[in-house]
Chain A
Amino acid sequence: MAATIPRSALRGRPKTDADDRTQRIVLDGVSWATYEALLADHGDRSVPRFAYDRGVLEIVRPTATHEERADALAAIVGVVAEERGIPHRSVRSMTYRRATERRGFEADASFYIQTLDRVRGKRQIDPESDPPPDLVIETDVTHSSLDKLDLYARLGVLEVWRDDAERIHILVLRPDGEGYDDIAASAALPILTAARLTGWLGDESLVLGERHRWLKQIRDWVRAQADTSG
C-alpha cells in the first residue's frame, strides 16, 4: 500500500528553535584556494561570514539579535567619532585575509581609526601591505570553536569588542602581539569603557524600538563628557 507523502511534509517543515540560533559549522582540511573560491562565490555578501585559520574554516550565519547588537555597538562608535571629531572608516564585515599567514576573517563590524592614515583614500585594501581594521566587533562568540582572538592577534588587530552574552569586553592587543588584555577603557575611543558599553547594550529601549532615544542619550552623554573635560 503506497501512501503519498504530501510534498509539504517533506519540504517545508515547521520552524524549530534551531532556526533562531546562530548557524555555525567548522571544517578542517580546507585549502587556501578553496577558501578563496568560497569567498569569490559570495562576493560582497556579508552573511554568512567566513573565518579561516590555516586549514580550519568557520562559517557563521548570525541571528538577527546578534546582528542588532553588533549594529548598536557600531552606532556607538559612529556617534562618539562624530561628536569628538575623530576621523575613521567603517568597513563593516570586510574580508581581511593574508595569504602569507593563511588566515582571514570577517568581523560583525570593523573600523579603521588609529591606522586610518595607512588606508586613507584606498578603495581596495590590500591585506598583504595594508593593516587590518583597528577595531573589530564580535557579538557571538559563545560557541565558536575557532580561536578568533588568536586569529585577530596574528593578523595584528589592535582592539576587539566582544559580546559574550553577559557583558561587553574590551580587548586590547598586548605590545608583544601575543594576545589580548581585557581592559576597562577602549584604546581606539578612550572615552568609552566596557562597563558603559555593557550598560548601553542592556538598555531595554533598544529592543523596544526606541533606538532614536537611545542614540540621543548616548550623544548627550558624549557631549557632556566634552563639556566637562574642556
Chain B
Amino acid sequence: MAGIAQRAPIHEQATTPAPSGEHRFVLSGVSWKTYEALLADHQDRSAPRFAYDRGLLEIMSPLPIHERRNWSLALLVTLVAEEMGVDAENLGSTTFRREDLEHGFEPDSCFYVRHVSVARAKDQIDLRFDPPPDLVIEIDLTHSSLDKLPLYARLGVPEVWRDDGTRTRILVRRPTGDGYDDVGFSPAFPVVSADDLGRWLGEGLTRPRSAWMAALRAWLRERLDAGEATRAMSP
C-alpha cells in the first residue's frame, strides 16, 4: 500500500504548475539511425535541441526564461571577447556529433575562441578531425536527467558554463578528460569569474539591454585597465 496509495485526491496532479525553464524528455533505446533521422527532420531549427549518448536521447525544448539566460550569457561572451580584443565565433546550437562514439549534442550556445579559425574556415565541423567548441554554454533550469558533462568531456570540450538558474558555474575539463572541475575564473576569458557571470547575468535579465551593455563594457574596461596596470608594475 506504500507508494501510490496516498490519501491525497488523485486529481491534484493536474493542478501542479508546468515546469519552468524548459521541457525535457529522455528516451532510451534510441538507435543512432533514429537520432540522425530526427536531426535531419529538424536541421533548420535551433529548438528543440537533441543530445545523444549511446542510446539515450534527450529532447529539450527551451522556454523563454531559458533562452533569455542563454542569450544574455552569449552576449556577455561577445562583449568580453570584444573588449579583450579576442576573436570569438558563436556557433549557437550547431549539432556536434561523433558516430564512432555514439555521442552528439546541440548546446544552448558555443564559442570557438582558441580555434576560431576552424569555425570560420569550415562549413561543416567534423569532430573526428576538428576541435570541439572552446566554450559551451548550458542552461539547465529543470535538472536534466541526461548528464551532459561526461558527453562534453568525451568530445573534448575544454570549458562549460553551466547555469542552473541560481548560479553560473565555470567548469574546466580535467587534463585526464574524465570530467570537469568547478573553477573560479574562465580560462578562455580570464577577466571574468563565476561570480561576475552570475551578477552580470542577473542584471542582464532586469536592466534595459543597452544600459546593461554599456555598464558591462565600462566595467570590463576598468577591469582590463587595472589588469594592465598591475602587469606594468610587476617586474
Taking Cβ atoms with an 8 Å cutoff, the residues of A that contact B are: 1-5, 7, 10-11, 13, 16-18, 20-27, 29-31, 33-34, 37-38, 40-43, 45, 48, 59, 61, 63-65, 68-69, 142-143, 165-166, 204, 207-209
Contact = CB atoms under 8 A, between A and B. Distances in A.
Nearest to B143: A13
Contact of A65 (B13, B18, B30, B40): B13
Q: Is the interface of B mostly helix, strand, loop or mixed?
A: mixed
B29 A42 contact: yes
Given A17-B16, A25-B48, A165-B11, A59 B27 contact: yes
Interface stretch (B76-84, B96-104, B179-187, B217-225): B179-187
A2 B10 contact: no
A29 B16 contact: no
Interface centre among A4, A20, A24 (most CB of B within 10 A): A4
B5 A21 contact: no
Given A10-B147, A18-B19, A207-B10, A24 B25 contact: yes
Q: Is the interface of A mostly helix, strand, loop or mixed?
A: mixed
Contact of A143 (B18, B25, B182): B18
Contacts of B121: none
Interface of B: 1, 3-7, 10-11, 13-14, 16, 18-19, 23-25, 27, 29-31, 33-34, 37-38, 40-42, 45, 48, 59, 61, 142-143, 147, 149, 169, 171-172, 179-184
Contacts of B1: 208-209
A69 B48 CA distance: 31
Nearest to B43: A29
B126 to A, nearest CB: 23
A143 B18 CA distance: 9
Nearest to B4: A64
B182 A2 contact: yes
A29 B31 CA distance: 19
10 contacts: A1-B183, A2-B172, A17-B16, A20-B16, A23-B24, A34-B34, A37-B33, A41-B30, A142-B14, A166-B11
Nearest to A202: B10
Nearest to B19: A18
Contacts of B183: 1-3
B181 A4 contact: yes
